[in-house]
Amino acid sequence: MDNEYYEPGGGNIADAGHQYARQIGRTRVVGQKERRVDARPLVTGAPVYAAEYEQPNMLHARILHSPHAHANILHIDTSKANALPGVRAVLTHEDLPRVAHRTAGQHYPETSPYDAYLLDRRVRYVGDWVAFVAADTPAIAEEALSMIAVEYEVLPAVFDPLEAMREGAPQLHDPDTTHPISGQHFGDIYDAAHNLAAHEEIHHGDF
């Protein structure tokens, strides 16, 4: 039985699709017991990660987060934060171009909606980004955050999926007409009772 492969039912696999599996003992990596090249460095703490790198004159960034689940930003006063010694930059949505991007999906073409912004005049969840601070030290950046005054217009929010699906529920995003992904249809659509049966296909074989 050496080098033979059997199906769960006991039958010998003889089709051409499994011929390569019979040669698995001849491969260099597939089917072999390999030692991870980074195993020893990982367990000894040797690797250096991006957060551990330090460069001369490096700045430290901190982010001001929203305390509200849904709100418009009416006004941001960064004057005190900007005046703090050691603060190099304070950025809000007024300082950045409003360029939409997506936060989901990894394939192309990508059908996810372009509904996120680096900084926006509306916050859509607790913890959403409101402002960025860059300073000489982490402590200065943290102190600068506490000096930023934000005036919010708190908007209705939903915290339950059933509530979110009801007509008239608060909407976090404006409709994206440039990257539509799907629509909702209710009722008897296109002879719905027979849709599945009409499109069913059965394929046999190995994939």
pLDDT at 56 over 60: yes
Structure confidence at residue 70 (pLDDT): 97
Domain boundaries, the chain: 57-192
Q: Which of 181, 178, 65, 179 is nearest to 127 (CA)?
A: 65
Q: Which residue has the higher pLDDT, 111 or 77?
A: 77
Domain 57-192 in CATH 3.30.450.20:
no
Q: Which of 135, 120, 124, 104 is nearest to 173 (CA)?
A: 124
pTM score > 0.85 for this model? no
Residue 134 three-state SS: strand
Structure confidence at residue 135 (pLDDT): 98
Structure confidence at residue 196 (pLDDT): 62
Mean pLDDT to the nearest integer, 42-69: 90
| pLDDT, averaged across the chain | 81
How do residues 147-171 score in pLDDT, each as one tens digit?
A: 999 999 999 999 998 998 899 999 8
Mean pLDDT to the nearest integer, 54-67: 94
